[in-house]
């Protein structure tokens, strides 16, 4: 089960091993031991699924400490342009973003450690997200105000 690094420390792409034959396919979307070997030692406590219509942009969402969330994101149907923005104060990559196409076809997953804002845009999709912390409405935020205008312009272009 290979993991691929990105230019932002802690942000990983996970490509599960897929076993396919005439009946269909099987893969482990998450295996605690495999993730621990990669240094990801956390417990997912909530799974979220959403559906988005054409032209919908969801995000950028994040939760404030002490309830920030690590996330493992994949797509069950369709495809998304998925975007993660580093909002960890003091991080050398603060304000940097990463984008990737996640789809039911490519079966790639994106792991976001706590301290990232997240969003996606798609024509029509059903994404799935494992979370390391429960949603706490009082700690949720929906945009990144502390980023520079330059970073915001780059991000809007990306979406």
Query: pLDDT-derived band of residue 80, with 50, 70 and 90 as boundaries?
Result: confident
pLDDT, mean of residues 100-104: 93
Per DSSP (E only), the strands in the chain are 3-5, 12-14, 19-21, 24-26, 46-49, 56-63, 71-86, 97-103, 109-112, 116-122, 125-131, 140-141
Query: pLDDT of 50-68, one tens digit each?
Result: 887 777 777 788 888 888 8
pLDDT at 63: 85
Number of compact structural domains in the chain? 1
pLDDT, mean of residues 117-141: 67
pLDDT at residue 108 is higher than 70: yes
**Could you tell me if residue 150 is inside a domain?**
no
**Could you tell me if residue 149 is inside a domain?**
no
**Could you tell me if residue 158 is inside a domain?**
no
| Lowest-confidence pick of 2-16, 18-32, 93-107, 117-131 | 117-131
State the SS3 of 94-112: CCCEEEEEEECCCCCEEEE
In which domain, by residue range, is 67 found? 3-18+28-143
CATH number of the domain bearing residue 94: 2.60.120.10
């Amino acid at each position: 089960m290979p993991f691929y690094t990105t230019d932002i420390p802690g942000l990983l792409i996970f490509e599960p091993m897929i076993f396919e034959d005439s009946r269909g396919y099987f893969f482990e979307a998450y295996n605690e031991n495999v993730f621990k070997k990669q240094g990801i030692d956390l417990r997912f406590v909530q799974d979220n699924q959403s559906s988005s219509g054409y032209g919908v942009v969801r995000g950028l969402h994040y939760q404030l400490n002490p309830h920030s969330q690590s996330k493992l994101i994949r797509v069950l149907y369709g495809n998304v342009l998925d975007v993660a923005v580093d909002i960890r104060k003091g991080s050398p990559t603060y304000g940097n973003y990463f984008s990737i196409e996640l789809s039911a076809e490519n079966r790639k997953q994106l792991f976001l450690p706590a301290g990232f804002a997240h969003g996606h845009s798609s024509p029509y999709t059903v994404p799935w997200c494992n979370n390391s912390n429960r949603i706490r409405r009082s700690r949720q935020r929906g945009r990144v105000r502390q980023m520079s205008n330059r970073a915001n312009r780059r991000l809007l272009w990306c979406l």
